[in-house]
Structure 1
Amino acid sequence: MPNTARWAAALTLTATAVCGPLSTTALASPGHAPASLYAPSALVLTTGHGQNAAAVAPERAVTLNCAPTASGTHPAARQACAELRATGGDFDALADRGDVMCTRQYDPVVVTVDGVWQGKRVSYERTFANECVKNSHGMTVFTF
């Protein structure tokens, strides 16, 4: 019997040592969500009339979250996130829509973007000649 007790104790300790860590990592305790598998992509976009952001108070601001799913106050979050993913988050690479005709009226509009794109800090500013030109750039990213 003493050998049986030793074997039972040894098997119990081995099972606890091997399976114990597996069960605690597999089952998260309530209230403690596991870390996200996605790099954060959360942006704040602003727009205002003027030459640059330093001289302009933002007239409108929206949020855009793209990971793990598109959300935020941007009116077309899903499309805007798809456009940014297609360019790898490069705002300068966003294409102009070819089907939009804009006047040559000069009424500058500045757009700023601040936040994080796929885990990397982003700070972007661009001045467009007018509202029409801004809205034609990048299909939906700057249309808000």
Structure 2
Amino acid sequence: MRYIARGLALAGLSLGLAVAPAAGSAGAAPQEARSLYAPSALVLTVTTGDDAVNGTVLRAVTLGCAPTATGTHPAARAACAELRVTQGRFEAATAAAPGMSCTRQWDPVTVTADGVWNGKRVSYTHVFGNTCLQGASTGVVFDF
């Protein structure tokens, strides 16, 4: 009987099925199903002012990138692709596009990214001088 249970367990594992341990197995704990992808789930915000904590949130979206792009971000696939290419460097998404012309008016907006990227906790904040400068950034991560 023990050999039959062991054979069924091996057959189930080869098919990717979760098989409970045989009744009466000493010390056997149930196995949790684990994802092959490192978690990537972010909350992205655009806030008025130069302080994200005390400013008014204008817009906020969610972005998940593993195993596929999900969330409320309007261009989730492009944002995830951009983060993969830059290896999660949000600075690349806030870089100024060459040749853009904006006024020097100081009316700051702050963008934030909080959550997990490839299994690591991230917290990113960047202050733009005004909405024109934010719109002139090269990336799509904060373009919502």
Q: Which TM-score tier does this pair reach, normalised by the shorter chain?
A: 0.7 to 0.9
SS of the residue corresponding to residue 140 of structure 1 reads coil
Using the TM superposition, give the Cα deviation of residue 99 of structure 1 relative to its aligned residue in structure 2, in angstroms: 4.7
Residue 125 of structure 1 aligns with which residue?
125
Conservation of the 8 A alpha-carbon contact between 1:83 and 1:138? no
TM-score by length of 2: 0.78
Bigger Rg, structure 1 or 2: 1
Unpaired runs of 5+ residues, structure 2, are: 20-31
Conservation of the 8 A alpha-carbon contact between 1:40 and 1:118? yes
Q: Does 1:105 align with 2:105?
A: yes
**Structure with greater helix percent:** 1
TM-score by length of 1: 0.78
Q: Distance in 1 between matches of 2:66 and 2:127?
A: 27
Conservation of the 8 A alpha-carbon contact between 1:109 and 1:131? yes
Using the TM superposition, give the Cα deviation of residue 61 of structure 1 relative to its aligned residue in structure 2, in angstroms: 0.6
Unpaired runs of 5+ residues, structure 1, are: 1-11
Q: Distance in 1 between matches of 2:71 and 2:7?
A: 42
The superposition leaves residues 30-88 of structure 1 with CA deviations (integer Å, 9 ceiling, x where unpaired) of xxx94211001100001111011122131211001111111111111111111111111
Q: Does 1:73 align with 2:68?
A: no
C-alpha RMSD of the superposition = 2.1
Residue 24 of structure 2 aligns with which residue?
none
Using the TM superposition, give the Cα deviation of residue 13 of structure 1 relative to its aligned residue in structure 2, in angstroms: 5.6
